[in-house]
């Protein structure tokens, strides 16, 4: 997958994508978090090649953490 991040506007677009496997989501988000994606003279921002805009590294990390959260339920019992 070449420059997979260029299709996404925000890290949470990756984290919430319904058709991507968790491993693929993690790989894409890791590429966003990489120092190679750091904005020159603004190390708290990341803008991978092909991405439309820079995002704070904290948002990338938050999206990564969200992958470890249990799925949300609507509170109804399945019984």
The structural domains of the chain, with segments of one domain joined by +, span: 4-66
At 61, the pLDDT band (50, 70, 90 cuts) reads very high
Contact indicator for 9, 53 with CB cutoff of 8 Å: yes
Contact indicator for 54, 10 with CB cutoff of 8 Å: no
**Predicted pLDDT at 51:** 83
- The token duo for 5 is 């991040």
**Helix segments in the chain, DSSP class H:** 11-15, 22-33, 57-66
Whole-model pTM: value is 0.79
């Amino acid at each position: 997958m070449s420059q997979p991040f260029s299709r996404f506007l925000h890290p949470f677009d990756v984290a919430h994508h319904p058709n991507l496997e968790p491993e693929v989501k993690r790989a894409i988000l890791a590429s966003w978090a990489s120092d190679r994606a750091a904005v020159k003279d603004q190390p708290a921002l990341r803008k991978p090649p092909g991405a439309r805009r820079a995002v704070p590294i904290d948002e990338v990390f938050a999206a990564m953490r969200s992958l470890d959260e249990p799925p949300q339920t609507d509170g109804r019992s399945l019984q």
